[in-house]
Structure 1
Amino acid sequence: MKKYILTLLSLTTIMTPSTGFAQEQQSAESMIDAAIANGDTEAVDAIAKYANSEAVTAKVEAYKADLAAKEAAEIAERNEAGFFSNWEGTGELGAFQSGGNTTSVGVTAGVKLTKESERWRFKFNALADYQRTNGSTTREQGVVTLEPNYKFNDRLYAFGLVQYERDRFQGFSSRYTLSGGLGYKLINTDAMQLEAKAGPAWRKTDLVGGGSNSRIAGLAAVNYAWKVSPAITFNQDLSAYVQSGNSSYNSLSALNAKLGDKLTARLSYQVDHETNPPAGLEKTDTFSRATLIFGF
């Protein structure tokens, strides 16, 4: 981009020495107008660097001031918005195939919502798998999570976690989790993000066969995202609840292909492992999902 712009600015002078300077300034102003109209900040910066023109400089300064004003207004709007305002998210719908305690194919649906201000970030996730065969439910699994984050800076944050799970075929009719701790973004670039979080947790499990138990656990989680190309993204999420009696480990790998501005195709593979499930049940369940994600 920079070499291309420099070449355009130079050719006018070489081709017409007597009027080269005027043509160069006119060319630079035309390019800066086009770059501003397209919102191409990288091109604006490159043209400003190589064009020696007061008119171009004035246009660049006005453009940057306008961007700063819009950003400040957006931040102020997010900070002043009520809890139920300014949520953004995606909906997910598709099919799954499971292995482990049940081997079946069914429907999967989910929603992810985020709300962010200068200091706070809220994340709401819900996902459910369901299937009926010959009048009987052969798969019924769901999880709902709300996670508020308080941001100390761009990398360090404190988190809270409230989670509800239901998976009768893994042995529990309901499981409630409360947790909190610290998280840190180890890598935070446009192409790659890696963050880890950890803290204590309390879990209450209601068993399908009757009875319940409450345990103090330790939570550790890692979330990784890699933008392979403008259209392809890879995600890897790992989490562990370590406690006496029964610990839980989860892995979710996903490949996302962008089909449009608000439409993404996703292939994912999930592994859930319980170290000590109720008698007669498998320790590990797997889920392969093919879904479409709709942005809103």
Structure 2
Amino acid sequence: MRLFLLLPPLLLAAAAVPAQAELPEGARAMIDAALATGDKTKVATVLDLARKTWPDDAAEIDAVASAFATTLAARQADAEKKREQTIRNAGLFDLWKGEGELGGFQSSGNSNTVGVTAGLKLKREGIDWSHRLRARFDYQRQNGVTSREQLFLAYEPRWQFDENVFAYGLAQYERDQIQGVDARYAISGGLGYQVLDRDGLSLSLKAGPAYRVTDYTDGRKDSRIAALAGLDFDWKMFERLTLTQDASAVAETSGEAVVLIDGANTSINLVTGLNFVVSDHLRARMSYQLDYDSNPPAGKVSTDTLTRATLIYGF
């Protein structure tokens, strides 16, 4: 959301009158229209065009740019101060944002079924700390028999101690009897790095040691030290795509990958999706999930895949 949509005319006039006093009428009109939007990208484009069109008035145009930059910096500083104050005064259950997901899936691998899927993501952004909660449940019942029941829960706090570097903690629970896992608990902590965060493109990496306990459906139980590596990738492919007169769509790709490695078993969870934003709160999503265990119980295969078609409601 822009910090402002319309700069106060009196403030602009007071800041820019000396600069605009000798500008041609056409230049003033064009620059004033750009300033009124409050969009720094548009203002920079218009001012650059004005310098090329009226090179003799470059000094006056530069003064306008300086006044706009000063006003923008003051507004940003004020908005940031208010944001921090809101966070400091917030209660434990305040400022959470998230999305709920509901839809169907088709799987291949250990099972070839069609069923329902539900998910929930919550996130709370603080000044230096952020908190992420994720939950997903897949269920399929056929001829009175439950043939798929997969549950995933995770909590991840993060401490952003540098612009691009963060420390994370992770507590995770999984249940997937199709893959032969009755219950799997994992905890991890380490460091992450924001590789990209610009122009609709975001990429972060994280890695650290982990400890996990696995109860298999065949009665085995493993407790092992492991290593965790994670990747989170988002790419907004199109800014706006009109579907109908009153609906728009934004196509986004997103991918998450988590790898847990220990001496006896390597686990990989990979999720890739394509989102279509239909409204401010509603999205349609197609996703593909791959789960891999290098050492599954006897009679099970190593790889399961899951294709989901869901609707997501953001709040």
> Could you say which TM-score interval applies, normalised by the shorter chain?
0.7 to 0.9
TM-score (norm 1): 0.84
1:87-135 CA-to-partner distances (Å, cap 9, x unmatched) read 1111111111111111110011101111112211111111111111111
Task: Report deviation, 1:190.
Answer: 2.8
Structure 1: where are the runs of 5+ without partners? 1-19
- Is residue 44–residue 60 contact of structure 1 (8 Å, CA) maintained in 2? no
Alignment length (residue pairs)? 275
* 1:139 corresponding residue in structure 2: 148
Which runs of 4 or more aligned residues in structure 1 lie more than 6 Å from their structure 2 counterparts after TM superposition?
Answer: 53-57
Task: Report deviation, 1:293.
Answer: 1.3
- Asked whether 1:283 is paired with 2:305, we answer no
Q: Which one of 209, 214, 219 corresponds to residue 210 of structure 1?
A: 219
Alignment of 1:112-261 (within 5 A): 112-230=121-239, 231-261=250-280
User: What fraction of aligned residue pairs are identical, expressed as a percent?
Assistant: 40
Alignment of 1:72-91 (within 5 A): 72-91=81-100
* 2:33 corresponding residue in structure 1: 31
User: Using a 3 Å threshold, how does the CA distance of structure 1 residues 195 and 63 change in structure 2: closer, same or farther?
Assistant: closer
Cα distance in structure 2, aligned partners of 1:126 and 1:151: 23
TM-score (norm 2): 0.79
Structure 2: where are the runs of 5+ without partners? 1-21, 52-59, 240-249
SS in 2 for 1:71: helix
Cα distance in structure 2, aligned partners of 1:76 and 1:68: 12
Structure 2 letter corresponding to 1:73: K
Cα distance in structure 1, aligned partners of 2:68 and 2:197: 32
Q: Which one of 79, 102, 111 corresponds to residue 102 of structure 1?
A: 111
User: Using a 3 Å threshold, how does the CA distance of structure 1 residues 33 and 186 change in structure 2: closer, same or farther?
Assistant: closer
User: Using a 3 Å threshold, how does the CA distance of structure 1 residues 58 and 275 change in structure 2: closer, same or farther?
Assistant: closer
- Is residue 234–residue 254 contact of structure 1 (8 Å, CA) maintained in 2? yes
SS in 2 for 1:65: helix
Cα distance in structure 2, aligned partners of 1:279 and 1:107: 27
Task: Report deviation, 1:191.
Answer: 2.4
Cα distance in structure 2, aligned partners of 1:61 and 1:245: 60
- Is residue 31–residue 43 contact of structure 2 (8 Å, CA) maintained in 1? no
User: Using a 3 Å threshold, how does the CA distance of structure 1 residues 172 and 62 change in structure 2: closer, same or farther?
Assistant: same
Cα distance in structure 2, aligned partners of 1:71 and 1:46: 26
- Is residue 160–residue 179 contact of structure 1 (8 Å, CA) maintained in 2? yes
Cα distance in structure 2, aligned partners of 1:219 and 1:96: 28
Cα distance in structure 2, aligned partners of 1:153 and 1:63: 24
